[in-house]
Amino acid sequence: GEVWSHPTKKVVAASAALVGLYSISLGVLQLTVGRSHSELVDSLTLGGNFGLTTLLYLLLRRVDDCLARAAVFTFLSGVLQPYSSVLFEWAHAPAADSADLRCRSAAACAALDAAVANGTAPPPPDGSLPCGWAAAQQLPCLSPIVYTWVGVVSSATLAGGTALYATYFQTWSYRSILATSQAALFLINLLDNVFVARLNLRFGVSDVAFIFGDEVLVGVLSRLQAMPFLIYAAKLCPPSVEASMFALFMGLSNFGSAAGQYVGSALLRFFGGVEAPAFERLGA
């Protein structure tokens, strides 16, 4: 009762309810008909993102126009940076007990062929890539252990980025940090093309070293970009709803990143698609 009787609290609660309802609806839509009606779902997703942005701005501007624009920016900064998990799917090695044998070594494939011939092992499933196919083409085939350590390093870079901001960048304006970090992130993300084209191997940089270096740079720059906005968002939160408004900011940031993945998948389909397990059009 107190929430809905207070004008500011009512607007913040309504905004949070709107974001929650849309995120649940979008998730259900993707899970139920995302594969069978992909073009329709892509159109609804893009239209829904635009609708959420508009309604969110109209709601929050009743409290403060600057607050409304900051909330919209938080969401759109994730949506307008589309990404996909396809690079991970291409680069990682399947689990040891997986039926996907593309990353097995030549010796392991020879042993498997002998076991199949002796009837002690089942043949590979129909439609799968030949045993050792990815390893023979020098594709990354990075193990789950490598990606586990990448996650650890990614978490550590958050602290490094925070320390770097506190030591050297507090005097920079928000626009300067945003522009510089965004330009740097754009250039670093182009390194994915180097990874896919296997150019890192030509320069003597192993896949493990390359992916760790990329993760460190992206993590530090992302943190540098986020730090001033987090401070700015905390200052924008209206009295009596500071915690709720800051939670809404963080929710919009996380949901924007998730919505960006949906947009990334839609763009992949629009440009012809990249299908596992061969990922033939990945370099295009």
Q: What are the tens digits of pLDDT across the range 92-136?
A: 888 777 777 888 888 888 888 888 888 777 787 776 778 888 888
pLDDT at 176 > cutoff 80:
yes
Distance CA 66, CA 281 (A): 43
Q: What is the DSSP string of 84-101?
A: -THHHHHHBPPPTT-S--
Give the global pTM: 0.77
**237-247 average pLDDT score:** 84
- Which pLDDT belongs to residue 283? 58
| Res 195: pLDDT | 87
Residue 21's pLDDT is: 92
Identify whether 277 is preceded by a cis peptide bond (ω within 30 of 0).
Answer: yes
The predicted structure's pLDDT at residue 19: 92
pLDDT range class, residue 282, cuts 50, 70, 90? low
Whole-number average pLDDT of the chain? 83
- The residue that leads in pLDDT, 130 or 62, is 62
